[in-house]
Chains A and B, each alone.
Chain A
Amino acid sequence: DTGVSQDPRHKITKRGQNVTFRCDPISEHNRLYWYRQTLGQGPEFLTYFQNEAQLEKSRLLSDRFSAERPKGSFSTLEIQRTEQGDSAMYLCASSPGQGHTDTQYFGPGTRLTVL
């Protein structure tokens, strides 16, 4: 399977704990995106990488959230001091990076539950 993969698929944690999610994009895709989605809503943009450079970060993103893509391949999203409001599906997407309007392909997501 050469699609976008995410790990773990599900995470349950207690309020105040730190969590880290991993995303492996489609091979040779230069762009990688992180989104958050809650039930009945569309994806909410969090951040975006072009290779290893983080080019855009949502103004809504708390400083408890940080993302990295150290070698321009896989990416990690860390949430520190989790809150119940962080409970959501965290989606990763990648795109080839050929021009600006290339199509984003999504991974299966990581469902986070904060107790």
Chain B
Amino acid sequence: GQNIDQPTEMTATEGAIVQINCTYQTSGFNGLFWYQQHAGEAPTFLSYNVLDGLEEKGRFSSFLSRSKGYSYLLLKELQMKDSASYLCAAMDSNYQLIWGAGTKLIIKP
């Protein structure tokens, strides 16, 4: 079957760094997406990885290891506005996104 695993909830301190992990099992693989979703709002695109390695985009970076079926999202210099759910989604061989349940990130002052 197809499955995405990510932690349900994480807590971090303002100004710190946090890493949100995601493991995936899909029928075929065509890339890994990260989205941010604030409560009651729609998901917004953060990053896409299809090759192994680290992609950096400002305070956010995303890493992929295809051999391990593993990705992480790294958030630096955390701000209160980063409090949100972070959704990991893998694209399968049919080019459909398989979504995780999301990681709720709580930022404390």
Residue positions of A touching B, CB distance < 8 A: 4, 40-45, 48, 56, 91, 100-101, 103-109
Contact = CB atoms under 8 A, between A and B. Distances in A.
18 contacts: A40-B101, A42-B87, A42-B99, A42-B100, A43-B87, A45-B96, A56-B94, A91-B42, A91-B43, A100-B30, A100-B91, A101-B91, A103-B45, A103-B48, A104-B97, A106-B44, A108-B42, A109-B41
Nearest to A108: B42
B31 A101 contact: yes
Interface of B: 4, 30-31, 33, 35, 41-45, 48, 50, 87, 89, 91, 94-97, 99-102
Nearest to A107: B42
Given A108-B41, A108-B42, A101 B102 contact: no
A42 B31 CA distance: 17
Contacts of B50: 101
Nearest to A58: B96
B41 A43 contact: no
A101 B48 contact: yes
A44 B91 contact: no
A42 B102 contact: yes
Contacts of B35: 106
A100 B89 CA distance: 15
B91 A42 contact: no
Given A45-B97, A100-B91, A109-B41, 12 more contacts: A42-B87, A42-B89, A43-B87, A48-B96, A91-B43, A100-B95, A101-B31, A101-B48, A101-B50, A103-B33, A103-B45, A104-B45
Nearest to B8: A40
A67 to B, nearest CB: 16
Nearest to B4: A42
A62 to B, nearest CB: 19
Given A41-B102, A42-B100, A43-B99, A105 B31 contact: no
Contacts of A43: 43, 87, 97, 99
